[in-house]
């Protein structure tokens, strides 16, 4: 991907706004998103990414509902799966990334996704809840009244990775390896990471692939009550389990898709509570309000800003002529503040009636891990607020992560823990 430094003089107003956004470095992109959404019909060309951006909720929903017209077959186009096919290690990475669920179209997508129907059921979420509570309590137990911590590094980043490692069925002692591998996996799927850094990320991610492969082989012979056993052994449409390479990709994607996003939900959410002490107090006196607060957090400051699709045919969208094979990004965070669907979108309102936000996308690719992410966030906030109801901003300034335009979260978010 080439990101050119200069804003083109002949570019339209929308294209200029997108240049500012995709160049990175923007602390608060929401005012730019608002301008984009309200300009013309909200669909704009991005010169740097060679792609259209759709910003209105109705357009994003419509595209999510029409998988035949808007394809996810984008492993290569998106830059996530660029690798050196002559190198056997990089080729192994490529074969795995190519089969990630969110790069598949029907009918393959339908078959592979059916495995997850057995995984993230309400019963499974209920059964995992005590594990999440134990993990959150163990982490919080290390701290006392008045301690100042970096909420991101010390708490938010630690919960999702331990949760997913535990429910996947990997030994707790291997957790430090998981942290290293998952970081590498995030870098390997980031199109902005190029050259030597990309090749190191790919090699490290392949260590994770090999590690999970060994567990998958074991679980085919000796199934257990864990997620890897379910992914490799569940019978799909033809009565057979998934092909081993495809199954392995799904075990890997759970780490790629679920960790940073949930970490950022926790971090964005705690920031909102610090900025809205009235809401924090309401939650302190009535914890049943937490799930709806999490939904409003997902709408107001979603952890994942950009989805992408490829137009299968030439058509018109938002008054623009879209050529076949062109990429269209869905600016989910702009759609979540579309006043056509969400009155007073700038207001953080946990009593809001419409909770149909787009933080988890829409249609057949709707996030399969959403029930888990929601439960982790609800448990995390409930445990933190019950021990430290007076949690407040720390003494040093928080810093946004501004290099990544897809994932929105805090680089650091210092807080003071108060009973």
Binding residues (CB under 6 A) for ligand HEM: these are: 72, 101-102, 113, 164, 253-254, 257-258, 261-262, 265, 302-304, 307, 359-361, 365, 367-369, 372-373
CB 324 within 8 A of CB 286: no
Of 84, 102, 103, 106, the closest CA to residue 93 belongs to 84
For residue 61, what are its two tokens?
């929903």
Compute the residue count for the chain: 419
**Cβ proximity to ligand HEM, 18 vs 63, nearer residue:** 63
**Residue 12 Cβ, how far from ligand HEM at the closest point, in Å?**
27
**Residue 177 Cβ, how far from ligand HEM at the closest point, in Å?**
18
Largest CA distance in the chain: 63
SS3 call for 165: helix
**Residue 16 Cβ, how far from ligand HEM at the closest point, in Å?**
26
Residue nearest to ligand HEM (CB): 369
**Cβ proximity to ligand HEM, 181 vs 304, nearer residue:** 304
**Cβ proximity to ligand HEM, 113 vs 219, nearer residue:** 113
Give the list of residues 6+ apart from residue 213 with CB closer than 8 angstroms, or none: 248
**Residue 396 Cβ, how far from ligand HEM at the closest point, in Å?**
26
What region does 318 belong to: left with phi over 0, alpha with psi -120 to 50, or beta?
Answer: left
**Cβ proximity to ligand HEM, 199 vs 261, nearer residue:** 261
- 342 φ, ψ (degrees, to nearest 5): -125, 100
**Residue 80 Cβ, how far from ligand HEM at the closest point, in Å?**
11
**Cβ proximity to ligand HEM, 75 vs 201, nearer residue:** 75
**Cβ proximity to ligand HEM, 15 vs 262, nearer residue:** 262
CB 96 within 8 A of CB 248: yes
Of 270, 279, 268, 264, the closest CA to residue 392 belongs to 270
Of 352, 313, 287, 257, the closest CA to residue 66 belongs to 313
**Residue 254 Cβ, how far from ligand HEM at the closest point, in Å?**
4
């Amino acid at each position: 991907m080439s990101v050119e430094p200069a804003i083109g003089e002949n570019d339209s107003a929308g294209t200029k706004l997108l240049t500012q956004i995709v160049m990175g470095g923007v602390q608060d992109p929401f005012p730019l998103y608002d301008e984009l959404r309200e300009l013309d019909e909200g669909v704009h060309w991005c010169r740097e990414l060679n792609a259209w951006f759709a910003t209105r909720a109705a357009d994003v929903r419509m595209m999510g509902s029409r998988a035949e017209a808007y394809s996810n077959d984008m492993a290569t186009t998106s830059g996530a799966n660029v690798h050196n096919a002559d190198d056997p290690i990089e080729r192994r990475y490529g074969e795995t990334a190519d089969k990630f669920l969110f790069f598949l179209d029907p009918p393959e997508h339908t078959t592979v996704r059916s495995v997850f129907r057995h995984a993230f059921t309400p019963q499974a979420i209920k059964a995992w809840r005590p594990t999440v509570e134990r993990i959150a309590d163990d982490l919080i137990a290390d701290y006392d009244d008045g301690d100042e911590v970096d909420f991101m590094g010390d708490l938010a980043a630690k919960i999702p990775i331990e949760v997913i490692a535990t429910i996947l069925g990997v030994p707790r002692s291997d957790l430090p390896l998981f942290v290293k591998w998952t970081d590498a996996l995030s870098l390997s799927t980031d199109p902005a990471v190029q050259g030597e850094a990309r090749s190191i990320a790919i090699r490290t991610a392949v260590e994770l692939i090999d590690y999970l492969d060994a567990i998958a082989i074991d679980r085919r012979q000796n199934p257990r009550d864990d997620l890897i056993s379910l992914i490799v052994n569940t019978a799909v449409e033809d009565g057979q389990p998934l092909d081993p390479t495809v199954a392995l990709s799904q075990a890997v994607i759970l780490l790629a898709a679920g960790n940073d996003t949930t970490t950022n939900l926790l971090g964005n959410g705690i920031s909102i509570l610090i900025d809205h002490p009235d809401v924090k107090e309401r939650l302190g006196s009535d914890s049943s309000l937490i799930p709806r607060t999490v939904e409003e957090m997902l709408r107001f400051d979603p952890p994942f800003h950009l989805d992408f699709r490829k137009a299968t045919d030439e058509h018109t969208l938002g008054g623009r002529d879209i050529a076949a094979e062109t990429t269209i990004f869905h600016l989910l965070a702009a759609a979540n503040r579309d006043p056509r669907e969400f009155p007073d979108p700038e207001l953080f309102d946990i009593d809001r009636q419409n909770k149909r936000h787009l933080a988890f996308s829409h249609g057949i690719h709707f996030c399969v891990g959403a029930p888990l992410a929601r439960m982790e966030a609800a448990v995390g906030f409930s445990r933190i607020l019950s021990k430290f109801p007076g949690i407040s901003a720390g003494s040093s300034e928080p810093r946004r992560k501004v290099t990544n335009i897809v994932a929105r979260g805090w680089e650091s978010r210092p807080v003071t823990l108060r009973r």
